[in-house]
Chains A and B, each alone.
Chain A
Amino acid sequence: DAGVTQSPTHLIKTRGQQVTLRCSPKSGHDTVSWYQQALGQGPQFIFQYYEEEERQRGNFPDRFSGHQFPNYSSELNVNALLLGDSALYLCASSLNTEAFFGQGTRLTVV
């Protein structure tokens, strides 16, 4: 079992650009959530996808959007990047209550 996989592992973008992060859930999991973790902070919930629909959203602007595909994999898109978007972006997959995280994508905005 490969677990939750995310790509890329690291990314450097320029302010104002757009970025797409990808996530493949753990085998058998149908729900994907995205979190943003700033240095020294706990992860903050961005949104969750289930059955290809956004089921719940956290307090993030519309610049953050996502998608879930029929095979349950997911993308996180961030438009008009700001310096403050620099963080570790985490994908978590779940089937019931317990969420399992990937290794994250470290995004640096310069």
Chain B
Amino acid sequence: EDQVTQSPEALRLQEGESSSLNCSYTVSGLRGLFWYRQDPGKGPEFLFTLYSAGEEKEKERLKATLTKKESFLHITAPKPEDSATYLCAVQRGGSNYKLTFGKGTLLTVNP
């Protein structure tokens, strides 16, 4: 069965203090790994899709990387508006269409 584990569960940073969130996964035949941002009481907002080990994608202060066992979401010089829960999900290949999510990392950036 596909598994996704995110760490840490919660992370507090000062504004400008860079850090990384981890997503470890077990899936047979990865089709894609996805990062989402979720604000309280809202639906997840799509950030990135990574398809193969070694791939990297960037958006503003966020950079996502992928290996065969884990993905990292690097946050450079975060701002308070980056505070949110960051969710990681995997999708297995073949005739499988569901996303399997981790529990998320709650990021708080203090001014």
- Point out residues on A near B: beta carbons under 8 Å: 4, 6, 31, 33, 35, 40-45, 48, 50, 55-56, 58, 88, 90, 92, 97-104, 106
Residues in A with CB closer than 8 Å to B46 are 98-101
The 5 closest A-B pairs by CB, nearest first: A42-B101, A101-B43, A45-B98, A104-B43, A101-B44
Question: A28 to B16, alpha carbons, bound, how many Å?
Answer: 39
Question: A98 to B43, alpha carbons, bound, how many Å?
Answer: 15
- Point out residues on B near A: beta carbons under 8 Å: 4, 31-32, 34, 36, 41-46, 49, 87, 89, 91, 95-104
A56-B98, A103-B42 known; 10 other A-B pairs, CB under 8 Å? A4-B43, A41-B103, A42-B89, A42-B102, A97-B31, A97-B91, A99-B46, A101-B45, A103-B43, A104-B42
CB-CB nearest in chain B for A56: B97
Residues in A with CB closer than 8 Å to B95 are 56
Residues in B with CB closer than 8 Å to A31 are 97
Q: Are A58 and B43 in contact (CB under 8 A)?
A: no
Q: Are A90 and B100 in contact (CB under 8 A)?
A: no
Q: Could you give 18 example pairs across A and B, Cβ below 8 Å?
A: A4-B43, A31-B97, A35-B99, A42-B101, A43-B44, A43-B87, A43-B89, A43-B99, A43-B101, A45-B98, A45-B100, A48-B98, A56-B96, A56-B97, A56-B98, A92-B99, A99-B34, A106-B41
